[in-house]
Amino acid sequence: MTDKDLTTHCGIYCGDCPRYKAKFSDMCGDLLDEFENSHFSKLAKVIATKNDRFKQYDHMLSLLKTITELKCDAPCRRGGGRGESCEVIVCNKSKNIEGCWDCDEFEQCGKLSFLKPFCKEAPFKNLKTIKELGVDNWAKHREKQYPWL
């Protein structure tokens, strides 16, 4: 996989994303399988009569299932992430551009606002770097996209 393959249309890098090929999603799936194969739900119901925390068992299963669904097996450019339903990808395709860096309006674009809670200003800084260095040469200069990492 090249840096270009791992570069999203919106200026983040799939290789840095915890969802891309997420081991934690696989582990949650394995845990769900183990719970089902061992019929743990029946034991959890019995334990719940003595331990109130086990009354949350179904909620925990739901959360584990949701975490398994977070995994992206492919970078955004190859159908991962939000895929064809991504507003940014739809916009890029309608403008016949490779990524937001090819658009003069990306700094004011509302379509990128969904990234701010996760990535702060990193995508905007990355888009400027991609515009300057090119999609094949920008990745080693990229901003840290998730502030908590």
List the domain boundaries for the chain: 1-12+81-149, 22-71
- Give the HSE-up count for residue 128: Cα atoms under 13 Å, Cβ half-sphere: 7
pTM confidence score: 0.81
Is the Cβ–Cβ distance between 75 and 4 less than 8 Å?
A: no
CA 98-99-102 angle, to 5 degrees, is 85
More confident residue, 139 or 148: 139
- Cα distances from 54 to residues 31, 47, 110, 146, 149, in angstroms, run 16, 7, 43, 33, 32
pLDDT tens readout for residues 32-79: 999 999 999 999 999 999 999 999 999 999 999 999 999 998 998 888
